[in-house]
Amino acid sequence: MKIGFIGLGIMGKPMAKNLIKAGHELVVFDVIKQNIEAMTAEGAKAAASSKEVAEECRLIITMLPNGPHVKAVVMGENGILEGAAEGTVLVDMSSIAPLVSQEICKACAEKGVKMIDAPVSGGEPKAVDGTLAVMAGGDKAIFDEVYEVLMAMGASAVHCGEVGAGNTTKLANQVIVALNIAAVSEAFMLSTKAGVNPVKVFDAIKGGLAGSNVMNAKVPMIMEGNFKPGFKIDLHIKDLNNALETGHEVGAYLPLTSSVMEILQILHGDGHGQDDHSGIAMYYEKNANAQIRK
């Protein structure tokens, strides 16, 4: 299948590569020239704009940082809607506010373009190995139509409801991940300050009720002092901001999310915005004047 792919960053690039590995023909665009060149080296065709991608493809995937970027790519000058034919399907896999997804979907519908929101969880490692968790919102028939394409990038793809439901589900995911990393950091700082080897603590509790995929993925990074981004602190700030704003809009109160948001903002202010979100541990390390290390 010929697929347009717009947004070739940390997540988008490996996702696009997996589509090529699955046998799909890709037409790609990104604002960073080197990202396009990396994908043409993999066999993709370069486009000069989002409009040009839409002129060539009837299925388009976007993977962009936030709502304003998606709106610009879809609705802006030289955007998807300027080039898309009626019946084109847009799968926005960006993590954005649910109400923004609904706004974009409405604009698409006015042009005869079908849209679902399908954000992912798993970070760069799972984007690379093609085992992302995809959570989708929109017309179930459209979801079914693109299901096999989604599964070329993920280990699971679940239809969660109408447009915006995918991003609502992703916000719930991001709240849980952020709070989990903070809880892990707090607990492992406790054990470190108490003089217990964090490796032993990890081995002892990872198979119990406190164990989680987050712990398994992030504690080894923390113990190695490896905060190379798989998912950046600044991006998690964006997601939690969307969660808090959505919570205010719907009357859901998120006091724990607010607390972790403040930790992330402090880390951003300390120059760690481009580090991995496992760097939440650095907040605890700074305050306790100790490091969680092997």
The residues carrying an active-site annotation are 170
Strand partners, 135: 158
Tokens of 287: 């305050």
Residue 250 makes CB contacts below 8 A (sequence gap 6+) with: none
Residues 66, 5: Cα–Cα separation, whole Å: 16
- Smallest CA-to-CA distance from 72 within 24, 123, 107 is with 107
Q: How many CB atoms lie within 10 A of CB 244?
A: 18
CB-based burial label for 169 (10 Å; 0-12, 13-18, 19+): buried
Beta carbons within 10 angstroms of residue 21's beta carbon: 12
What gap in Å lies between CA 261 and CA 256, rounded to an integer?
A: 9
Task: Give CA 166 to chain center in angstroms.
Answer: 12
Q: Which 8-state DSSP code applies to residue 232?
A: B
Q: Are 273 and 237 in contact (CB under 8 A)?
A: yes
CB atoms closer than 10 angstroms to residue 287: 10
Q: How many whole angstroms separate alpha carbon 165 and alpha carbon 34?
A: 33
For 281, residues 6+ apart whose C-beta sits below 8 A from its C-beta are: 181, 184, 185, 188, 189, 222, 292
